[in-house]
Structure 1
């Protein structure tokens, strides 16, 4: 039986775990504290025992606010020397920084953006093992975590930023890409949909699907966003996904936000 050890049972990783268990895998995950069958991250002896028996290992844990890398700091040496069939890290397309709206693929330089710690973690995971797969992910949405939910809750604003676009990806398309990579070559992969689009278009489409009023366009100043959200709008890029399609045989089930939102509504 294949065994997956997942560091960080967050939103996307939990959906991956559910899919693998349904296919007969044994999946062990970690959380900050032991709950829902997951091990406590700091329970070193149990985590190392799980690593010893694992055939596949994935980390979805981002760097800490101070820039440290919890999984690599605690377990990097053990992961690097473990006998595994496959290993992976969920990174971010934020490592590319601002591209002024241009397309970026995996050959683009990283480390120039606001997420320096993310870029360093991305590179450190690449260097850890020869079988490492690094998945760079844009904005993630899915059941219970989408523009539909934010519009319903009255928490969506539409920001007027001419020329500004973002890439995104449905969580289940990430799951499909990870599974496709089990038989694919190691390396770095952008996992995004096919249609980068302005944020305000997605919110408007979600409102129309729900039969609700489309929120008015606002300037950045009018929106009164948090500092973290403002940083989101400082970067503008289109994420190319051709490498994953070519080498992994992966295709997004939801190639654009319209298909993804309609599926969530259905």
Structure 2
């Protein structure tokens, strides 16, 4: 139950749903009243966690993948296979499952054709969760997400703390999704379970990252950091790889199927709300 999981849990609790999560490090978990059980890949599952899994009707995973797929699923698989109550599983994936489109559009019908390591790991984890759902004969949902932002993680906060990076690649655009909109999408998918749901929630405006940063700087009265070219050798290889992929997300199919519209259709509405 990380950052996005906490936002989702709060919204579900407001609807009267009982929510339990896991954490890799209980000592670092916030004191927010949400119930978390330790989950490590190198230790035995606790009896309390096994009991929660046996009672769970829906399980959502937001754990990043590794070279073999989903490390959490490898630990939880026997318990999930045996859980008598389980009806739905979901996985928070990424649009990294798609290869670079040179600024072109992707939607729910696009082929997940990534061949670089990060995208392949995501594809492997997706397949593992799908296989569990098929084996159990239950519904499932994959959420292929763009960059998330919201309270605690946004350009305003990065600028105020001197952590903002002004990296420029001409022609590059990204879609974004406010974390509260993500929670709303997941709840909509829970309310409309599908055999193999696939969703690409996003905002309405693929935009250059420097435009978002400039808007945040103007909004908050901050100075813009010096610009750095995306292929500058001083940047880490991981960061340079992040700026290599250029694609736009068409989320109309997801909206139609789930009856969902983003509360924050562009970064402007989202950042104004975060400023308040």
2:32 alignment counterpart: none
> Once the 2 structures are TM-superposed, how far is the Cα of residue 118 of structure 1 from its aligned partner?
0.9
Choose from 128, 151, 162 the match for 1:154.
Answer: 162
Choose from 38, 49, 55 the match for 1:40.
Answer: 38
Q: Which shows bigger deviation, 125-134 or 81-90?
A: 81-90
2:186 alignment counterpart: 178
Q: Distance in 2 between matches of 1:87 and 1:222?
A: 41
1:20 alignment counterpart: 12
> Once the 2 structures are TM-superposed, how far is the Cα of residue 111 of structure 1 from its aligned partner?
4.1
Question: In the TM superposition, what are the counterparts of 1:215-230 in structure 2 within 5 Å?
Answer: 215-222=225-232, 224-230=234-240
> Once the 2 structures are TM-superposed, how far is the Cα of residue 38 of structure 1 from its aligned partner?
1.0
Choose from 189, 193, 208 the match for 2:203.
Answer: 193
1:62 alignment counterpart: 64
Report the CA distance shift for 1:237/1:154 in structure 2 as closer, same or farther (over 3 A): same
Choose from 115, 126, 140 the match for 1:132.
Answer: 140
> Once the 2 structures are TM-superposed, how far is the Cα of residue 62 of structure 1 from its aligned partner?
1.6
3-state SS of paired residue (1:38): strand
TM-score (norm 1): 0.90
1:165 alignment counterpart: 173
3-state SS of paired residue (1:128): helix
Q: Which shows bigger deviation, 114-123 or 78-87?
A: 78-87
Q: In the TM superposition, what whole-angstrom CA distance separates every residue of 1:45-98 from its partner, at most 9, and x where no partner exists?
A: 32221011112211111213x434222211124324533232211111111121
Report the CA distance shift for 1:13/1:177 in structure 2 as closer, same or farther (over 3 A): same
Report the CA distance shift for 1:262/1:223 in structure 2 as closer, same or farther (over 3 A): farther
Q: Distance in 2 between matches of 1:110 and 1:34?
A: 35
1:31 alignment counterpart: 23
Report the CA distance shift for 1:147/1:236 in structure 2 as closer, same or farther (over 3 A): same
TM-score (norm 2): 0.87
Q: Distance in 2 between matches of 1:198 and 1:13?
A: 27
> Once the 2 structures are TM-superposed, how far is the Cα of residue 222 of structure 1 from its aligned partner?
4.7
3-state SS of paired residue (1:30): strand
**Which runs of 5 or more residues in structure 1 are unaligned?**
1-8
Q: Which shows bigger deviation, 170-179 or 55-64?
A: 55-64
2:100 alignment counterpart: 98
Q: Distance in 2 between matches of 1:262 and 1:101?
A: 27
Q: In the TM superposition, what whole-angstrom CA distance separates every residue of 1:3-51 from its partner, at most 9, and x where no partner exists?
A: xxxxxx1110011111222322211111113455311114343222101
1:4 alignment counterpart: none
Q: Which shows bigger deviation, 98-107 or 70-79?
A: 70-79
Choose from 118, 121, 139 the match for 2:122.
Answer: 118
- Tell me how many residue pairs correspond in the alignment: 257
Q: Which shows bigger deviation, 182-191 or 66-75?
A: 66-75
